[in-house]
Amino acid sequence: MTVGLGEFGRIRAYFAPLAGPGGLGLLDDAALVACAPGRQLVMTVDAIVAGVHYLPDDPPDLVARKLLRVNLSDLAAMGARPLHYLLTTALPASHDDDWVARFASGLGEDQRRYGVDLLGGDSVSTPGPAIFSLTAIGEVAEGAEIRRSGACPGDRIWVSGTIGDAGLGLAVLKGGYATLPAAQRAALAERYRLPEPRVTLGPCLAGIAHAMADVSDGLLADLGHICEASGVAATVAVESLPLSPAAAAAIATAPEARARLAARARLAAMGDDYELVFTAPPGADEAVASAAAEAGVPATAIGTIASGEGVHLVDEAGDPVAIDGTGYRHF
């Protein structure tokens, strides 16, 4: 039997160095968060379970970074700038100090990247699989938050970056798309393993976007959440979906035009993109382009909001395209 650092030792060795000033060295009962005048705080929490949300033998630093990033994506979707986080770890005995050290090292790397710090947390033991819960805290000017409920008929629908890469990446990791070049397979897998939350674009869209969500359940599902919250309908043109070169190559492996259209439609039902889907009035096209340029992330217009309900995917002729993918529930 090897004797490890124990809970307090791990906190001191691995997590205390991640703490910001408000974390009080992780030595107190709670943490302090200042709030500048005219700002409000934005909070979200997401949890992951070993064997459910990630593979038990995934590298610990990647597990930590993905956990942090999916939460930062939720903040970005409100137009908020990320500030801090709290972390709960529930670990089985099989996770030794080295595992925790590598997990904390991944957190440290992404902390520096995104300019956030650790406020506090809790560590518990479990006889079950490892579970992590992260609470992220950001800030936005009072009244400047972008909710899901603000979409208006006539709004254009936009999405950042490219769609479907993460879903295809998961398929690649399971052995799919074996005929694609190795570099494209790697690019898709990377999008699944380590999403890039749009933390810069989100806040740039304050005052421009009417409604916003991040694409975690799938573009159509998350757009469906916006429609439901706003009481509107959405029409999305399948041909306008922005694809990466690797995703376009994956689509091109389908044998004929109708199968390629169906494959493209399925991308809109795949999750884990962590792009931003948002609506803005037609007059805001230039402002959206300018925000996207400032953030260094492309934004593509993919459809329009109308009165009614539901999300409707259409082809170039305006005819409905059926979705046979998973993750999409018609609202």
* Binding-site member from 106, 108, 120, 327 for its own copies (CB under 8 A): 120
- Cβ 313 vs Cβ 220: under 8 Å: yes
Of 91 and 208, which CB lies nearer to its own copies in the complex structure? 91
CB atoms within 10 A of CB 11: 21
Tell whether residue 287 is a contact of its own copies (CB under 8 A).
no
Counting beta carbons within 10 angstroms of the beta carbon of residue 179, is it exposed (0 to 12), middle (13 to 18) or buried (19 or more)?
Answer: exposed
Nearest-approach distance from CB 275 to its own copies, in angstroms: 13
CA 138/CA 300 separation, integer angstroms: 26
CA 108/CA 93 separation, integer angstroms: 23
Closest CA to 277 of 250, 326, 240, 245: 240
49 forms bridges with which residues in the sheet? 131
Tell whether residue 229 is a contact of its own copies (CB under 8 A).
yes
* Binding-site member from 81, 156, 198, 225 for its own copies (CB under 8 A): 225
Of 112 and 329, which CB lies nearer to its own copies in the complex structure? 329
The SS3 call for residue 40 is strand
Of 49 and 301, which CB lies nearer to its own copies in the complex structure? 49
Nearest-approach distance from CB 234 to its own copies, in angstroms: 16
Tell whether residue 47 is a contact of its own copies (CB under 8 A).
yes
Question: What tokens does 271 get?
Answer: 């999750």
Tell whether residue 200 is a contact of its own copies (CB under 8 A).
no
* Binding-site member from 18, 19, 31, 104 for its own copies (CB under 8 A): 31
Residue with tokens 């889907």: 277
Nearest-approach distance from CB 180 to its own copies, in angstroms: 32
By CB under 8 A, the residues from 234 to 263 that bind its own copies are none
Of 90 and 189, which CB lies nearer to its own copies in the complex structure? 90
By CB under 8 A, the residues from 49 to 108 that bind its own copies are 49, 51-53, 74-75, 77-78, 80, 86-88, 90
Tell whether residue 24 is a contact of its own copies (CB under 8 A).
yes
CA 79/CA 211 separation, integer angstroms: 10
Chain-centroid distance of CA 174 in Å reads 21
Stretch that binds its own copies, among 170-178, 224-232, 266-274, 285-293 (CB under 8 A): 224-232
Tell whether residue 167 is a contact of its own copies (CB under 8 A).
no
Amino acid at 240: S
Q: Cβ contacts of residue 269 below 8 Å, gap of 6+?
A: 218, 219, 220, 221, 323, 325, 326, 327, 328
CB atoms within 10 A of CB 40: 15
CA 222/CA 236 separation, integer angstroms: 13
Tell whether residue 42 is a contact of its own copies (CB under 8 A).
yes
CA 15/CA 106 separation, integer angstroms: 11
Nearest-approach distance from CB 35 to its own copies, in angstroms: 3
User: For its own copies, what does the binding mask look like between residues 125 and 164, x meaning CB under 8 A?
Assistant: xxxxx-x-x-xxxx---x--x-xxx---------------
* Residue 291 parent element (H or E): helix 285-295
Closest CA to 24 of 7, 43, 39, 11: 11
Of 158 and 177, which CB lies nearer to its own copies in the complex structure? 158
Q: Which residues bind its own copies (CB under 8 A)?
A: 24, 27-35, 37, 39-49, 51-53, 74-75, 77-78, 80, 86-88, 90, 119-122, 124-129, 131, 133, 135-138, 142, 145, 147-149, 212-214, 225, 228-229
